[in-house]
């Protein structure tokens, strides 16, 4: 069996977390972590990885619409650098419009605005992970790109 992958949607206030099944077919939202600071955030993400018995992390990378990286991408790369230093394997996935997709799914599901804010980040992380999983050939088992 393949190792699970934990996906992150890293924002200034919150970090959405999702995980896939061991066969790497389906991504599911897990939780939203309040963004406190690198130390506590890295420890919380490591704990989630331990719970799912993985060291593989896929982070959404917020690109500008022209594909370039801006200030927010630098912040994401900085946090992911800390995750790598903590022993986790990190890869990146373009996250353009994933929050819009997640918000749309929650609206379509009938979730009220007040509750959507509590869930949108973890659903966005699941969208990021599912998009990545959908691009993998069926025979591919490695996290390497």
DSSP string, 34-58: E---HHHHHHHHHHHHHHTT--EEE
Give the lowest-confidence range in 49-53, 79-83, 135-139. 135-139
Domain boundary assignment for the chain:
6-134
Strand pairing category for 56-61 and 89-94: parallel
Task: Tell me the Cα Rg of the chain.
Answer: 14
pLDDT at 115 (0 to 100):
64
Cβ–Cβ under 8 Å, residues 24 and 5: yes
Mean pLDDT for the chain overall: 84
Distance CA 12, CA 111 (A): 23
pLDDT at 102 (0 to 100):
54
pLDDT at 26 (0 to 100):
93
What CATH superfamily is the domain 6-134? YqgF/RNase H-like domain (3.30.420.140)
34-38, 41-45, 72-76, 138-142: which has the highest mean pLDDT?
Answer: 41-45
What's the pTM value of the predicted model, to 2 decimals? Answer: 0.83
Is the pLDDT at 106 greater than 60? The verdict is no
The predicted-structure confidence for 129-143, as pLDDT tens digits, reads as follows 999 998 876 545 556
Cβ–Cβ under 8 Å, residues 17 and 122: yes
């Amino acid at each position: 069996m393949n190792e699970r992958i934990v996906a992150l949607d890293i924002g200034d206030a919150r970090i959405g977390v999702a995980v896939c099944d061991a066969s790497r077919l389906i991504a599911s939202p897990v939780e939203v972590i309040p963004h406190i600071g690198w130390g506590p955030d890295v420890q919380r993400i490591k704990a989630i990885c331990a719970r799912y018995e993985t060291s593989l992390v896929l982070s959404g990378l917020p690109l500008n619409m022209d594909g370039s990286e801006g200030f927010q991408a630098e912040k994401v790369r900085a946090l992911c650098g800390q995750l790598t230093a903590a022993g986790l394997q990190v890869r990146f996935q373009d996250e353009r419009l994933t929050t819009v997709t997640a918000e749309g799914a929650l609206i379509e599901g009938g979730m009220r605005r007040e509750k959507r804010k509590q869930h949108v980040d973890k659903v966005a992380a699941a969208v990021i992970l599912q998009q990545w999983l959908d691009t993998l050939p069926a025979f591919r088992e490695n996290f390497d790109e």
